[in-house]
Amino acid sequence: MKKVSSLSELGFANDVHHALFRPIQEAAPPSPTKRHTKISVVGAGNVGMAIAQTILTQHLADELALVDAKPDMLRGEMLDLQHAAAFLPHTRILASPDYSVTAGSDICIITAGARQLPGETRLSLLQRNLALFKQIVPPVAKHSPGALLLVVSNPVDVLTYIAWKLSGFPPNRVIGSGTNLDSSRFKFLLAEHLEVNAQDVQAYMVGEHGDSSVALWSSISVGGVPILSQLTKDKAAMEQGVLERIRKAVVEGAYEVIRLKGYTSWAIGYSVASLARSLLRDQHRIHPVSLLAKGFYGIPEDQEVFLSLPAQLGRSGVLSVANIQLSEEEAARLRRSADTLWELQRQLEI
């Protein structure tokens, strides 16, 4: 008796994937696979080292390279990790202020960035970060021309656009951490409110990473059950108010952590490690990440903006973008977010 090996043999339509996901424009194929995996982290501050530590404990790389402009601090961080060799899976750890140490990387993670000064405008901060990225991205791209670029530095959406322009890489290979962590915070707070496990909550924050991020309330589900459609109209109106307060709590979550401990690190470390795992292991998992969004969800083709959308990730980077049904309000908020980013980008000299 012949074993049925696929749904298509049972009569399931072959083109369902194309209905659920839209392909990325001008996408490049994945770089040739190899057994040896290398990840580089540029910026050995609190965020960079949390990412490095999580990568090590989850054994995502055979080789880990660290880059920072402060050589003594960098060497200290390298030695501190190397001294834990007996407790970790075997990973070769390198560190240098010279970008040649990143050569042959599969993923280059950029966490370095200038901090906003008191009274400084957003545009002024972006100009300083643009100058910094001009020192970082070209040598990284030169030493690892087949790598995936994963930008974590803030403001992540515009800096991911800058990294794309400076690298010359195809857009599917330049990704920002975007709202991946925001969505995790969103799921956590929703799970608390609904008294369920956060892993059973399907909910996304999209758009710009920051105060104008968009919560996709209309698509929230728990265990496959759509939440809002299960409520009466009166109850739904009440819940919308609850969900908006939760959205604001998500946005303010990072500020609270910074107020209490001075910086954020562990959550973003786990968030970025989850992205690295999906990319390197070609898992085709869906993450809300910052990507070239023109042409998606009504964003004009002439707006080369990067913002977060739920995307399939694999070895070649962004594989496709999920076709989630947005409400009119959600779609309008997303387009306003894109307009804001586009106006800001147009002021940059790049």
Binding-site positions for NAD(+) read 43-48, 68, 129, 152-154
| Count of positions (residues) in the chain | 350
**H or E element at residue 163:** helix 156-167
Indicate which residue of 17, 90, 209, 287 is catalytic.
209
Q: Which residues pair with 149 in a beta bridge?
A: 108, 174
CB atoms within 10 A of CB 211: 8
Alpha carbon of residue 96 to chain centroid: 25
| Known catalytic membership, residue 209 | yes
- Nearest of 292, 301, 333 to residue 207 by alpha carbon: 333
Alpha-carbon distance 60 to 274, whole Å?
10
Alpha-carbon distance 191 to 200, whole Å?
8
Spell out the residues 6+ positions from residue 102 whose beta carbon is closer than 8 angstroms to its own.
40, 42, 65, 67, 108, 140, 143, 144
- Binding-site residues sit at 43-48, 68, 129, 152-154
Residues annotated as catalytic (active site), given as ranges: 209
